[in-house]
Structure 1
Amino acid sequence: MHWGQIKSLLILSFLILDVYLFMQFLDKKDQADIGILEQQTSTIEERLNAEDITFKNLPEQEYEEAFISVQQKMFNKDELSSLKLNELQNTYLFNKYFLMSSIKEPIKIEEKASKEEINEIFEELVYYSEEYSYWNWNKELNVLIFFQNKMDRPVYYNQNGLVLLFLNNQNEVTFYTQTMLGDPEPIAEKKKLIKPIRAIETLYQDSELKSGDNISKVNIGFHTRVPFETGVQVFAPIWKVNVNNEKDYFVNAIEGFTFSTDEQEFLEQVIDSALEKVQIPSLDTDRNLEKMMNQLNERLEKTSG
């Protein structure tokens, strides 16, 4: 055999050996990465356990979601007038997308009313009620809050998909305000969402969780990612993490950062915005509208005082 042939065989043999060793390296690296991930998962669980931070029944399903784009929905005045609900109220429409409605016969809400009882009243009173879900009774402002749902998930704290039922001193619903979002459209490819344990870990690393805390519930929903003045908004999928049945945190389920919304501040902004929307000449001649405006002003004065 000539030296040239031997040399070629040696080079080919070393090349095959290099490829084999490289494949072995990649395989061991993948196993090491998996081991690191498993170690990280167990580490956060151990750290939470050491701090007596408890949780249970986390969603196990793996989700893939995309950012969605949603436009403001315009109400149709003729359509509203044709609905039976219109007989129960005097409805006012501003700029086609903001609705205020005065209830002809105020409806009592019992102090200890269940979520189901509140929803029953809501369904009989509010236009397109099936689009919304009950969130909370803010006792300081005496307001019932309902968030609109998109893709069967709530859109948290968004002024453009919201119903507020305003109660008087006898806990009677006297009027409400309503906005509504249109149909959602995905604006990017779906991405795998971080798991709930990762969302909890993010809160822990941000020092939002304290020793003895209990993670009461973890739910998926949407939150405003990018607002636009044109009425088009981008919503990101988020994990809502409730701590001690008291405070809610939101973790962006794609990008992984945390944020929270102050409910009181949000409601004050909504009320202030409502007052701006209905500043029209007809206010002086419409008694129902004037009463609603006065109640909104009283609530703002109460919070600022």
Structure 2
Amino acid sequence: MDFKKIENIFLLAFVFLNVYLLVGYINRTGMQYANSPSEQINIIRDMRDIGIQIPGNLSDEKLNVYYMQANSNNLIQDNINSLENQAGSVTSDGTLYTSILSEPIEIEGDPSEGVTDQQLAKLQSFVNSSSILFGDQYEFLRYDNEENRFIFSQIVNDRPVGDGTSEISFYYGRSDGNIISYQQTYAGPMQQQGDSVEVISAKEAVEFLFQSNELSSNAVVSTPILTYQRTLALEDLSIYGPAWLVPITESNESRVLRVNAKDRTMITDPAESNEVTPEPAVDAEDEPDEEEDIEPDQG
């Protein structure tokens, strides 16, 4: 028996086996690399290469968030008589209150050039006063350059309701720098539903917008905000789920993109966002129509 020949055969077999295992390992490593942070960095780099401006502090942390339930209510309608220093009207369904202030709120500086701490402190003080219903539940969300309004949102589980169904909009007058009116919606108290769910990170939300061709070159992306969005509206209750709100500026025009933070899908249909369309701010010289449902000045 030629033991030397047998030894060589076994040696070649082991060599081929090791080569096979090495190739398999390299292929698996390549697949993992495709989903590694390095690829994410490359996506961000590609965005910057075509002129898209992205915040440098985009978080890649994946948070756990609960779905929330809000029961239908008439809390605005039932409490508007307690408001002071204003006259206002509420829509027939009781969900939107529009106020005309008896004393304007004077704002120093132009918020379109950047909202200042002084402006926010003044408005937050008003929100927390007896002139606003449930004001202690609202915090500043963003400034809407297109509508010239400061938006304060109801905070639920440390997250703002960002779809317009529970917010206060203060309308800024560019001509005089005063705020003479506001609108309010209020979803009411909310309760957690089921177990928490893991959501995509802020970085993943921006990358998804880029990969979905939602961002043009030279777009300016502001810091994404993890918000609650109404996902189901029934007669007796509404369900709110997590959504990334991403403010975008393109060609000096501002808009907001929304990404479902659980399913990584675009929220594009206005009916899905359930956002209340703001009415034009009331001019100081305009008098309320006698046929409107106006509450008397409580101040």
Please classify the TM superposition score into its range, dividing by the shorter chain length: 0.5 to 0.7
Code of the aligned partner of 1:255: D
- For residues 174 and 221 of structure 1, what CA distance do their matches in structure 2 show? 28
Instruction: Give yes or no for contact 1:163–1:176 (8 Å, CA) kept in 2.
Output: yes
2:257 equivalent in structure 1: 249
Choose between structure 1 and 2: higher helix proportion.
1
**2:45 partner letter:** N
2:257 maps to a residue whose letter is: Y
Separation of aligned partners in 1, 2:88 and 2:39: 56
Pair 1:99 & 2:97 matched: yes
| 1:43 equivalent among 21, 29, 39 | 39
Query: Which residues in structure 2 correspond to 1:130-141 (within 5 Å)?
Result: 130-138=136-144, 141=147
Task: Please list every run of 5 or more consecutive structure 1 residues that lacks an aligned counterpart in the other structure.
Answer: 1-24, 275-281, 291-305
**1:240 counterpart = 2:245:** yes
- Taking structure 1 as reference, are residues 187 and 212 closer, same or farther at Cα in structure 2, changes over 3 Å only? same
Cα displacement string for residues 99-137 of structure 1 (whole angstroms, at most 9, x for unaligned residues): 333311222223425443333333325333232233444
| Partner residue, 1:110 | 108
Query: RCO (CA 8 Å, sep 6+): is it higher in 1 or 2?
Result: 2
State the partner residue of 1:11.
none
The answer for the alignment partner of 2:86 in structure 1 is 89
Report the AA paired with residue 41 of structure 2: E
> 1:104 and 1:64, CA in 2 relative to 1: closer, same or farther beyond 3 A?
same
Q: C-alpha distance in 2, partners of 1:287/1:96? A: 12
Q: TM-score, normalised to structure 1's length?
A: 0.64
Secondary structure in 2 matching 1:66: strand
Q: Which residue of 1 aligns with 2:75?
A: 75
Task: Give, as a single letter, the amino acid of the residue that structure 2 aligns with 1:46.
Answer: N
Q: Structure 1, residues 142-188: CA drift from partner, whole Å, max 9, x if none?
A: 44332222222111132x31222245542322232222111222333
Give secondary structure in 1 for the equivalent of 2:161: strand
Determine if contact 2:89/2:292 at 8 Å carries over to the other structure. Answer: no
Please state how far the C-alpha of 1:235 moved relative to its aligned partner.
1.6
Shift in alpha-carbon separation, 1:173–1:197, aligned structure 2, 3 A = closer
Write out aligned runs for 1:263-302 (5 A). Answer: 269-271=277-279, 284=290
**What's the counterpart of residue 120 of structure 1?**
121
Maintained 8 Å contact 1:65/1:190: yes
TM-score of the aligned structures, taking structure 2 as reference length: 0.65
Identity across the alignment (%): 19
CA deviation map 1:72-125 (0-9, x unaligned): 44337786655xxx4422355565544333311222223425443333333325
